[in-house]
Amino acid sequence: MKKQTPTVYILHGYDASPTRHWFPWLRDRLESDGIRTAAIALPTPDAPRLSAWLAAIAEAVTEITPQTYFVAHSLGCISLLQYLAEQPSTHAGGALLVSGFAETPQDFPFLAEFTAPPLDYAALKQILAHRTVLSAKDDPFVPHAVSKALADALAADFYLLPTGGHFIDQTGTRTLPAAYGALCSMLSD
């Protein structure tokens, strides 16, 4: 029986878009590998609302199967997890969470609505066959300890890079080989 072609959904974070940071590079790399990708544009990224982001994710994700994977960055991570928690009977291949958090970042109290609903980690572990969190020691917005706490709660693999900041284009990040490598590990499993 032929294995279904994987689909990877890419979700950006606060004040970003599918054309920013390292997302176009990752999409191009995956597509050159023959992997279907869809970068989800989340509405009003400079003034995000949880309900609007959940609706946009629900509209973009056509189906979730064991060959469905997600890559999310920053605010996109908690948004994805909140969305998946509402899909308890689904089984996805996995999620790569870059600079992820499940508690409101100290400098961004206006994002509290995204972290206020408690996550059902037991359900998320059942939904996501593979879980990986990637962070950098020098992330100025989401301290790596916060990303590590998310990884621990999800029983996820955790990769801590010595540098990289918040992995954004303003600081020069336009490629992210560590994300590609982690995702390839999931896809080959």
Active site residues: 74, 139, 166
**Do residues 73 and 110 make contact, with C-beta atoms less than 8 angstroms apart?**
no
**Do residues 121 and 88 make contact, with C-beta atoms less than 8 angstroms apart?**
no
**Do residues 98 and 74 make contact, with C-beta atoms less than 8 angstroms apart?**
yes
Phi and psi at 67, nearest 5°, equal: -105, 20
Concatenating the DSSP letter of every residue in 111-135 gives GHHHHSSPP-HHHHHHHEEEEEEEE
Closest CA to 73 of 7, 30, 16: 16
